[in-house]
Amino acid sequence: MGAETGPHADRETGTADHGFDPAARLAEREARGLRRDRQPVDRVASRSRRAPDPRGGEPSYGAEELIFAANDYLGLAGDERVGRAAAEAATTVGAGAGASRLLTGDTGAHRALERDLAAAKDAERALVFSSGYATNVGTIAALSPDVVFSDAANHASIVDGCRLSGAETVVYDHCDADALADAMARRETNEGSWLVVTDSVFSMDGDVAPLTALCAVAERHGAWLLVDEAHATGLHEEGGGIVEREGLADRIQIRMGTLSKALASQGGYVAGSEPLIEHLSNAARSFVFSTGLAPPAAGAARAALHVARTDDDRRARLWEHAERLREGLAAMGYTVWGETQILPVVVGDRADAVALAAALRERGVVAPAVRPPTVPEGTSRIRVAPMATHTERAIDRCLAAFEAAGRAVGVL
């Protein structure tokens, strides 16, 4: 066996080497075209400056560029109201929670945010976690289902939650309620607890799960349904997601979402019944054994949720930008998937997608390539995500950049 995969004797000391070789792992990733660099931005906004990866040094920022790759869909990360709320929470409550919320880390900032989230989701209670990832992992594992039925395109946090739960996991075809029904019908026994898990909006394809049909299938078999609204929370009427848009709040037992996208902060939440929330607060290990969400993040998310619930014009601008981009890109000849604020411009070939992203960057537009294994082979793409705070001129510049870059690299 090689040095990395198994022990070998050190020639000088005769002792076995049970260490790791991260340099070799990096080289292998580089050879497969999967190595990525972090490129810092000077601020979170629709326009910002970026720096090449400085490794351990100071970033050196270049010219300002248009950002069409963020999940700050409502453009609230730099909003003064949200910033003031974060600062006030830091001053009055503290910069950090200081402990697990089951010890001394449960503050008024957390409880106020949870009350507002429960109201927005029309739920009895809500529970806030330190991240969206921790929310899914902790919730699914704490439920400890016997069988999980999971959409094939679900987020990694759902996949890992299924693994940690120890449940038998059945993956059904993406956005296919009939496939879910078939998978349930094929079960040899109806015993045990069943959980269906799906994103509402899928982050790479920009499409929407058939929630009404999924509810019908789950109800037919007495299963519970968990819907991840990470990319939908705050983007519909009253700050709701797809569940609220479709009027399904009373048919879905577990509604999860994040505070780090349209709500411009950090963390995740679960909304549901009183017994569910009380159980998770005692049994979800990623909640129990983590320091509580930082109070400034809770304050910021609460302020952002208020804006999302009351500022109809801001939400409308986001949808107008998305539709204009979709129509413009399609008119050029690009293939644009999805039906939401996430616009996957599907190129197909991995190298073409990388070249297109680089050509866009040369023209002042940041919209990185997404390629396998994140997406299936042959579907490499540019993931375009507008923000409500983009101007009409910015949308024009984005479209012009796509046209010029597409011709330059030969994909148009």
Q: SS3 helix, strand, coil % of the chain, rounded to 5?
A: 40, 15, 40
Residue 20: band (very low, low, confident or very high) from pLDDT cuts 50, 70, 90:
confident
What is the model's pLDDT at position 5? 47
Please report which confidence band the pLDDT of residue 192 belongs to, taking 50, 70 and 90 as the band edges: very high
User: Is CATH 3.40.190.10 correct for 80-310?
Assistant: no
CB 144 within 8 Å of CB 165? yes
Section 348-355 average pLDDT: 96
Give 39-46 contacts, CB < 8 A, sequence gap 24+. 41/67, 43/78, 44/70, 44/72, 44/77, 44/78, 45/75, 45/77, 45/78, 45/389, 46/70, 46/75, 46/387, 46/389, 46/390, 46/394
User: Among all residues, which ones are annotated catalytic?
Assistant: 203, 231, 261
If pLDDT is split at 50, 70 and 90, which confidence band does 8 have? Answer: low
SS (HEC) of 231-282: CCCCCEHHHECHHHHCCCHHHCCEEEEECCCCCCCCCEEEEECHHHHHHHHH
Q: Residue 264 and residue 288: Cα distance in Å, rounded?
A: 24
pLDDT score at 1: 40
Give me the percent of the chain exceeding a pLDDT of 90.
83
Q: What is residue 14's predicted lDDT score, i.e. its pLDDT? A: 66
pLDDT tens-digit series, residues 201-218: 999 999 999 999 999 999
Structure confidence at residue 326 as a pLDDT band (50, 70, 90): very high
In three-state secondary structure terms, 84 is helix
* pLDDT band per the 50, 70, 90 thresholds, residue 9: low
Report, as an integer, the average pLDDT of 39-59. Answer: 78
pTM of the model: 0.90
pLDDT at 19: 85
- Mean pLDDT of the chain, nearest integer: 93
Integer CA distances (angstroms), 98 to 93, 102, 300, in order = 11, 11, 18
Tell me the mean pLDDT in the region 290-315: 97
Tally of helices (H runs) and strands (E runs) in the chain = 14, 16
Q: If 0-12 CB within 10 Å is exposed, 13-18 middle and 19+ buried, where does residue 221 land?
A: middle
The structural domains of the chain, with segments of one domain joined by +, span: 30-77+312-409, 80-310
* Range among 54-58, 155-159, 371-375 rated most confident: 155-159
Higher per-residue confidence, 396 vs 30: 396
- Among all chains, which residue has been given the structure tokens 């910069």? 95
pLDDT tens digits along 113-137: 999 999 999 999 999 999 999 999 9
For residue 187, pLDDT beyond 90: no
Residue 261 has pLDDT above 90, yes or no: yes
CATH number of the domain located at residue range(s) 30-77+312-409 in this protein: 3.90.1150.10
